[in-house]
Amino acid sequence: MVGLVRPVVDAHTLGISCIAKLLRDCGYEVIIGERTIAEALNAISQIENICILRRWIDANRVTRLGFSHRLDPHQAQQLFGRFRWLLANHGLLAEAGGPIRGVYFAGLPEACRRIQAEYHGAVPVFSGDETPFAALSKLGVPAARIPHAIRVQSAYDDLRLTFGRQLIAEGRHWGTSTPERSGYPEYGTARDDIVKRLDHCKAHNRLPLMRAHVGPYLPQRTKALELFQDWVRQLRQAGELDVLSIGTSQLTQSHFGRPWDDRPNGGGVPIATEAEYRRIWDEARPMLVRTYAGTRNVPELARIHERSLNIAWHALSFWWFCLIDGRGPNTVLENLREHLATLDFIAASGKPFEPNIPHHFSFRGGDDVTYVLSAYLAARTAKLRGVKTLILQNMLNTPKYTLGIADLAKSRAMLRLVRTLEDSDFRVILQPRAGLDYFSSDLDEARAQLAAVTALMDDIEPDDPNSPPIIHVVSYSEASHLANPPIVNESIRIVRAALHAYRHQRQRGQGLDRGTSAEVAERTEALYRDAEAVLQVIHREFPDPYNAEDLYRVFAAGFLPVPYLWECRDEFAAATLWKTDIKGGGVKVVDEQGEPVLAAKRAEEAVTNVPNIQLPDKPLAHF
């Protein structure tokens, strides 16, 4: 029996839950210490508390014990030191004839470094950056007991991470050259746009374009704007970045043109006027510029972005960035109505549209079918409204423990389904990115991870030298601190170097192996068919669901599961009742026994909820 414990002062339980599931998938029994054990560990030096722990170990026949503390490294070292000393002093370790044959520690990287140094490597440590295969190997699990999917992941994901570490260790990213983007008449002018730049760079073999999200925060608004202007100047002069994505503040999104009073800004650049936007655009050229949509009066703010920024493309979230996630004053139905009205304006402007949607379902426990399906629903809605170009954002590594082969299958299934909409009047442009919580706080490891996820992006369409055409570069410092211009520029160089090196490596037959490719193809086909099955049921129930009211009903009925939704759970109870779990490295809807539920079956269950849906006739709350 493997026992996993933490002191009550540390509320972080996700890592414990993940390692417990991995061990159970390998056939091991695992018990997680309940609150009584957590409270005992907080003051483990007290004799009654070590007795509580000893009784728990004996009662559950624990033979291996993992201790997790993901807060202050000094406190973690002290608590773990007392914990291990008392285990030894009370004869609980195997070398003294006790039952515990292995003790492990999980914590922040600095805490892990301290524990490693103190115990000279005798205590295996886990910082959270380990792949599932590496974590299980550290725990001493024989390879034969590790599930096939995890072993496959080791053969692919570890290959990419090794590739990334070598590229960074050799400093190859510092030798990259910045591609020339100019050469067409509209370049850097008010008539420039993302489609012209893509077409020009494709014709001259200069893809992909690089987009990055940038936005410092300072408490004083004018100082924050001055700092951002300076950052924009630095990025323009370096010439690495193609599309500047402004990280605006919460108040810019929800209260643009309204009094801010004493409301908290919420981080990001606090832009309050069209003139401020215009100054940023002037400073940024020839970079293209885009920014967040509003969360109130969404169509009007889209018009402002068009006038002041010549915005590269608009992004909308449909069901998200409103009351359901605390980001805006709209109800979900109000939000859908405003976003679809905004799509009409986007179509008239001729600008592309980015559905900032699928990963928001993943953030709340949505399964891979929901990720693919929500992208299609948004894309078809946009096409029906007259939008001609779709920027298809694809967030990888979400959740963090998704296997690379599962990410490839999800990406390819989504592309395949959305591209069924393509014709002479509708074009789909892939824009992959790393996940928000993917990167290590160890910056060298994070640099290697950025190179590794770039290789994953390139494997989505490995036979197309122009794919991906746009990359949303998430800076390697994401888990440590805000990315300033030098970090953004270095991150872009890493991505560019990784693409070049990985493509050269693939040409030598060192990329995705044939066995893995076959498995990815099988997963892609299965996911595509599952998304199609749910879509067929939606179309049967709602013959034309691409309007605000029916998109609301599709969500409310439970066709798009979100088990981890925090807000509006009563309104969307049918969507929150589903359970999801990581199966084979991807996310699936599961039943009470943890077994996957057939997509068609769950869709039919969602149909039974449709008659009970009532459209809200007035706002539920306002900011």
172-211 pLDDT tens trace: 999 999 999 999 999 999 999 999 999 999 999 999 999 9
Predicted local confidence at residue 134, as pLDDT: 85
Asked whether the beta carbons of 284 and 232 are under 8 A apart, the reply is yes
Residue 610, token pair as written in the block = 């449709």
Give me the chain's average pLDDT, please: 92
Alpha-carbon Rg for the chain in angstroms: 25
Q: For position 207, what pLDDT does the model report? A: 97
**Average pLDDT, stretch 62-86?**
91
pLDDT of res. 622: 47
Please tell me whether residue 289 adopts helix, strand or coil conformation: strand
Q: Domains of the chain by range and CATH?
A: 2-155 (3.40.50.280), 172-202+209-306+313-507+516-520 (3.20.20.240)
CA distances from 246 to 233, 255, 277, 577 (A): 13, 16, 10, 36
pLDDT, average across residues 39-57: 90
> 154-165 b/e with 16+ CB inside 10 Å = b?
bebbebbbebbb
| pLDDT computed for residue 621 by the predictor | 47
Band (14; pLDDT cuts 50, 70, 90): low
pLDDT tens digits along 563-606: 999 899 999 999 999 999 888 889 999 999 989 999 999 999 99
Q: What is the pLDDT of residues 412-422, one digit of tens each?
A: 999 999 999 99
pLDDT in tens, 371-390: 999 999 999 999 999 999 99
Q: Residue 378: which of 366, 368, 390 has the closest Cα?
A: 390
Predicted structure pTM score? 0.87
Instruction: Decide if pLDDT at 31 tops 70.
Output: yes
Please report the pLDDT score of residue 512 as a whole number.
64
Q: Is the pLDDT of residue 623 over 70?
A: no
pLDDT at 290 exceeding the cut of 70: yes
User: What is the reported pLDDT for 620?
Assistant: 47
Over residues 342-349, the mean pLDDT reads 98
Predicted local confidence at residue 47, as pLDDT: 87
Tokens for 581? Answer: 């779990």
* Per-residue pLDDT at 516: 65
Task: Extract the runs of DSSP E, i.e. beta strands, from 321-462.
Answer: 353-355, 389-395, 427-433
Q: What is the pLDDT of residues 488-519, one digit of tens each?
A: 999 999 999 999 999 999 888 776 664 468 88
